[in-house]
Structure 1
Amino acid sequence: MLAEAARALNDNQLTRAEQLIRSSLVVSPENPDALRLLAAVAVATGHFADAERLLRGAICQAPGFVLAHADLCTLLGRQGRAAEALGLLDELIGAGDGPVWALSLKAATLTAERRADEALPVLRQLIARTPGAAIPQISYADALQTAGHLDQAVAAYRKALDLDPASGLAWWGLANLRVVRLSADDVMLMERAMEKAKPGLDRVRLGFALGKALGDQGRYEESFRRYEDANRVRGLLIHYDPQATEDFVRAAEAAFTSTLFDARAGHGNETDAPIFIVGMPRAGSTLVEQILASHPMVENLGELFELRNIAQQIAGREISNAALPGVIAALPAPQLREIGDSYIISTRRYRRTDRPFFTDKMPANWQLVPLILLILPKAKIIDVRRDPMACCLSNFTTYFNRHTSFPANLADLGRYHSDYAHLMDHLERVRPGRVYRLGYERLVEHPEAEIRKLLAALDLPFDAACLRPHENQRSIYTPSAQQVRQPINGEGLQRWRAYAPWLEGLRDQLENL
């Protein structure tokens, strides 16, 4: 029964999942697995207090229940209570002889709080406690990459591969450094690992890493086929629904009219502190974020889930994608200020400086731009656009984890891009000039001119440091981390053309854009 409930939860069938879980709890009211699943339903519907109570109950019944501890730490972090989560973990760790999983959770919690440098010594402790394990070594490499220690990250991934030569997680981590070229020997080792890999996520990661390595070797058709196979398997795991995205966009175009925005004018939180960076993944948003983070008046907060959490709470239980725009459009005007206030309050925990502006770079927030316009009417919004063929190919060759619902084939990628472009074009018609559109190709070909225009659009004075974003040593938590640590260049602009013979389906999908 609980296995069926877990599947329903994964498919967002929350009512069905809750019915199954509660039926199980009638038979076994203290079952920690059931309590944890019911907590997941509570989180999905925005009932965080109930979720916390359930998770603490699960831990009380099973003190070593690692997944419940992990969920509780994540939940506390989402509520700005990471210090409390870290305190609980420190109690478990004690003088250093506590469970190794508590060390792992502490490192993960610190990383989630954008504190990768603080996670590094914790991970070194974990490695010392588990010297033959590859996973802690991979986590250490990930944190080193995030913190900008590229050479050390490469060495750590290689060390993990010494411990587990077939680790798809380690191979993808190495491949995902982007600026590291994988050798023919690496290809041979990965192909050997692929022969033994079982179906599932590790095989998917190996496929993406092999695609990258074969591309580095100029073996583009083989590279494409590896990406194609890996995406096919990933698609079976994530259940992306392209029709749901299209339905959402159509509903948003109907709901968010100039009349609606005019009627809601003067409401919402009036702060101009947030700068939202939206668009397709792999379109250049991390570079734009790095440029702005180099400005002395702007603090980078990375990819924040706060807006998503707010939308989730507005939606409530099982509101479909198509219904959400109507629910947002129907919000009473006085409530818009309260929601805007809650966003500003929830982002304070990430602030480390007193700079007057901050960036929130979550590409998928393009779907929530209408919500931003309503609850934060003075916030700045940047839509980063890249050539559709180049952008979709880059997404096709990037491994997104199983928790990211994102297209896994070229046709759906093209459709997703079209939906995104249609909504942003609609918003430009009903609120002209409200979203600043920045072309990635123009930015890398004419950086100074485009950066000056960008800063002017944001009402920021020009600062020469923005022309040298690669000198900014901040931690970066996205796949583009190593690329934006290089001087601005157009090196990857034409990369997609090497794969052009196999992109006809994508081209057909995009031809009407």
Structure 2
Amino acid sequence: MAPPTTPNQTNNRPLDQAQTYLQTGQKHEAYRICRDLLARNPAEKPALGVAWGKLSSICDALGDVDGAALALKRYVAAHPKDLSARGRLAEYLGEAGHIDDAISVAGQLLTEIEARNGPTAGLLRGLGFFHAQKGDFERAEKYYRAALKCAPEETASWEQLSAIKRFAPGDPDVKTMQALFNAPSKPANIKNRIPLAYALGKAYEDLGEVEKAFSCIAEGAQLKAAQTPFDAVEYSNAILAIKAKFAAPPRATAAIDDCSVPRPIFILGVPRSGTSLVEHILASHRDVCGGGEMKLLGLAMAPLGDLLGPETDDFLKQNDAAGSKPTSRQAIADTYRGLVRRRFGDTPVVTDKNLTNAIYAGVIARAMPDAKFIYCRRDPTDLAWSCFKKNFGARLSWSNDLVDIARFIHVYEQLIEFWRAQMPERILTVAYEDLVESPSEWTDKMLTFCDLAQDEACYKPHKSCRTVATASLAQVRQPIYKSAIGSSQAYRNHLQPFIDAYAELCNAKKT
């Protein structure tokens, strides 16, 4: 008689298989296994036990933060003394938009760690960010200052604090940051030097001290660029390959009788081009849920691999041929809508402003014929300055160098032109300058384009209590303002590398 199998031995088999699929690039197969395991009743025998933690890690690697949170919640329920896991759970809940739950988990954890005199700066900073997303900047500031008191060397707290306040002459925070930035024992650790450079640069910009502001921001950008260089040629070639792959426009006769809720509105645009404002206006509508920069689309697209392989060829053949059955199209749409419903419930309409939307637009147009696109554009130099002065971390390496910003924006604009030529009726272009000059007029246009009924809340988006997790979380809480138009003017001399590179790229295109 064979010895009894322990729960972990039994249930690690599918997890090991999911891990193998993940490592070999078969994300859709890994997700299928994870989805099935998550659908199980936690009390079902044999129990997953500690394997819930492993499942959470796999879901996180797949970009399924909702699944990661659910799995880790089950792990924590059985292992409440694992404080590290509870901290990760708060992060997952926050990323999935469940801010109140994240605050609850993090708050309970903070109480326990404080009782043990353990390190709390990171947790305090996280709580500050959660409250900032809710628009409670007063409480957020208290947490950021508490984090600085616990660990003044962790300058990420200064950067997050600077994002939610406006500095005035004589502000003692500026002197404190100056002293830390210029001290003989100034932060040698790049991890702490970079956020302090951006925080102090933001303070100097608020004070109108142009030279000091640019100097600090440029130092932070230079340090980041050395860590994560941007390959402009690789990026340009990838976009060219996408355009070649999707050279044929989607069939105009694609059926829409298989469409279901939620109906998606995909927001396109370079970061800092007005995408957060557009989403905030639309998400103020009673029928619309603002999804922000959610990563659900990439998970739904997983069966297509890297978008440039034979899987995409098969997808296009199935969906562009006359009389074809929309099998793969339906699978992608169903997966995406299912993921959205899992996060937001049965909302009629959802906005999605993930940064990869422009890359996936060709698939989106075929998989979801009811989807609409709004493209946000902005004065290139204002846009460049807004990107350059923001610390996006490692994920947007092109933003660390002015010439790279020019290259990125130019290629992005070419990609948008490509999609607009293919499906002009499905893309509404909204210029940031027009929107803030005539917000009511453009709100009307956006609601009409998106087939949404009038809703007064859309005309007063700053009064919305929705959670905002993007870099513009402070700006969208204010009434729509025009002061950001021409914001680069004072810095034009410093921005000349961008201006020259962008002009050269545009002129080269014309010849």
Question: TM-score w.r.t. structure 2 length?
Answer: 0.82
Which deviates more, 382-391 or 426-435?
426-435
Q: Which amino acid aligns with 2:73?
A: L
The CA distance in 1 between the partners of 2:260 and 2:473, in whole Å, is 30
1:213 aligns with 2:195: no
Q: 1:413 to 1:181 in 2, by over 3 A?
A: farther
1:114 aligns with 2:97: yes
For 2:149, which of 139, 155, 162 is the aligned residue?
A: 162
1:457 aligns with 2:457: no
Q: Which amino acid aligns with 1:237?
A: Q
The CA distance in 1 between the partners of 2:253 and 2:418, in whole Å, is 18
* Alpha-carbon displacement from aligned partner over 1:441-480 (angstroms, at most 9, x marks no partner): 1111111111111111111122221110011101111111
1:232 aligns with 2:225: no
Q: 1:324 to 1:169 in 2, by over 3 A?
A: farther
1:189 aligns with 2:176: yes
- Cα offset for 1:190? 2.3
Which deviates more, 400-409 or 469-478?
400-409
Match of 1:426 in 2: 418
The CA distance in 2 between the partners of 1:64 and 1:237, in whole Å, is 36
The CA distance in 2 between the partners of 1:276 and 1:427, in whole Å, is 13
The CA distance in 2 between the partners of 1:296 and 1:349, in whole Å, is 19
For 1:270, which of 259, 267, 289 is the aligned residue?
A: 259
Q: What SS class does the counterpart of residue 492 from structure 2 fall into?
A: helix
Q: 1:177 to 1:347 in 2, by over 3 A?
A: same
- Cα offset for 1:77? 7.4
Match of 2:242 in 1: 252
The CA distance in 2 between the partners of 1:466 and 1:101, in whole Å, is 41
Match of 1:20 in 2: none
- Cα offset for 1:265? 3.3
Kept after mapping to 1: 8 A contact 2:133/2:467: yes
For 2:295, which of 298, 302, 305 is the aligned residue?
A: 305
Q: For this pair of structures, how many residues does the alignment match?
A: 464
Q: Which amino acid aligns with 1:167?
A: E
* Alpha-carbon displacement from aligned partner over 1:340-372 (angstroms, at most 9, x marks no partner): 2221122211124x4421111213311211111
Match of 1:332 in 2: 318
The CA distance in 2 between the partners of 1:507 and 1:395, in whole Å, is 14
The CA distance in 2 between the partners of 1:388 and 1:404, in whole Å, is 17
Match of 1:442 in 2: 434
The CA distance in 1 between the partners of 2:160 and 2:285, in whole Å, is 30
Q: What SS class does the counterpart of residue 304 from structure 1 fall into?
A: coil
Kept after mapping to 2: 8 A contact 1:157/1:173: yes
Q: 1:425 to 1:200 in 2, by over 3 A?
A: same
Which deviates more, 236-245 or 139-148?
236-245
The CA distance in 2 between the partners of 1:244 and 1:44, in whole Å, is 23
The CA distance in 2 between the partners of 1:267 and 1:244, in whole Å, is 36
- Cα offset for 1:304? 1.5
1:223 aligns with 2:228: no
The CA distance in 1 between the partners of 2:370 and 2:34, in whole Å, is 35
Q: Which amino acid aligns with 2:83?
A: V
Match of 1:71 in 2: 57
1:86 aligns with 2:78: no
For 1:469, which of 461, 464, 474 is the aligned residue?
A: 461
The CA distance in 2 between the partners of 1:423 and 1:174, in whole Å, is 36
Which deviates more, 217-226 or 305-314?
305-314
1:125 aligns with 2:117: no
Which deviates more, 481-490 or 43-52?
43-52
Q: What SS class does the counterpart of residue 433 from structure 1 fall into?
A: helix
Q: 1:140 to 1:133 in 2, by over 3 A?
A: same
The CA distance in 2 between the partners of 1:260 and 1:329, in whole Å, is 14
Q: Which runs of 5+ in 1 are unaligned?
A: 1-29, 54-62
* Alpha-carbon displacement from aligned partner over 1:279-320 (angstroms, at most 9, x marks no partner): 1111111111111111112122222112223344412xxx5x
Q: What SS class does the counterpart of residue 505 from structure 1 fall into?
A: helix
The CA distance in 2 between the partners of 1:189 and 1:37, in whole Å, is 47
Q: 1:468 to 1:92 in 2, by over 3 A?
A: same
The CA distance in 1 between the partners of 2:425 and 2:419, in whole Å, is 9
Which deviates more, 157-166 or 63-72?
63-72
Q: 1:472 to 1:49 in 2, by over 3 A?
A: closer
- Cα offset for 1:138? 0.5
Q: Which runs of 5+ in 2 are unaligned?
A: 1-11, 36-48, 320-325, 507-511
The CA distance in 2 between the partners of 1:112 and 1:146, in whole Å, is 11
- Cα offset for 1:198? 2.8
The CA distance in 2 between the partners of 1:43 and 1:412, in whole Å, is 29
- Cα offset for 1:213? 1.4
Kept after mapping to 2: 8 A contact 1:140/1:156: yes
The CA distance in 2 between the partners of 1:264 and 1:230, in whole Å, is 51
Match of 2:135 in 1: 148
Question: TM-score w.r.t. structure 1 length?
Answer: 0.81
Q: What SS class does the counterpart of residue 430 from structure 2 fall into?
A: strand
Q: Pairwise mapping of residues 336-351 of structure 1 onto structure 2 (< 5 A)?
A: 336-351=329-344
* Alpha-carbon displacement from aligned partner over 1:108-151 (angstroms, at most 9, x marks no partner): 12112211112112222222233353111111101111122110
**Percent same amino acid at aligned positions?**
27
Q: What SS class does the counterpart of residue 384 from structure 1 fall into?
A: strand
1:41 aligns with 2:31: no
Kept after mapping to 2: 8 A contact 1:77/1:113: no
Q: What SS class does the counterpart of residue 208 from structure 2 fall into?
A: coil
* Alpha-carbon displacement from aligned partner over 1:193-226 (angstroms, at most 9, x marks no partner): 3343133332211111121112122221221122
Kept after mapping to 2: 8 A contact 1:284/1:386: yes
Kept after mapping to 2: 8 A contact 1:179/1:482: no
Match of 2:163 in 1: 176
The CA distance in 1 between the partners of 2:29 and 2:215, in whole Å, is 44
Match of 1:56 in 2: none
The CA distance in 2 between the partners of 1:192 and 1:67, in whole Å, is 43
The CA distance in 2 between the partners of 1:35 and 1:205, in whole Å, is 40
Kept after mapping to 2: 8 A contact 1:204/1:233: yes
Q: 1:147 to 1:400 in 2, by over 3 A?
A: same
Q: Which amino acid aligns with 1:299?
A: C
Q: Pairwise mapping of residues 287-298 of structure 1 onto structure 2 (< 5 A)?
A: 287-298=277-288
The CA distance in 2 between the partners of 1:401 and 1:146, in whole Å, is 18
Q: Pairwise mapping of residues 369-384 of structure 1 onto structure 2 (< 5 A)?
A: 369-384=361-376
The CA distance in 2 between the partners of 1:294 and 1:168, in whole Å, is 34
The CA distance in 2 between the partners of 1:322 and 1:406, in whole Å, is 22
Q: 1:326 to 1:71 in 2, by over 3 A?
A: closer
Q: Which amino acid aligns with 1:85?
A: L
Which deviates more, 475-484 or 219-228?
219-228
Q: Which amino acid aligns with 2:479?
A: P
The CA distance in 1 between the partners of 2:498 and 2:276, in whole Å, is 24
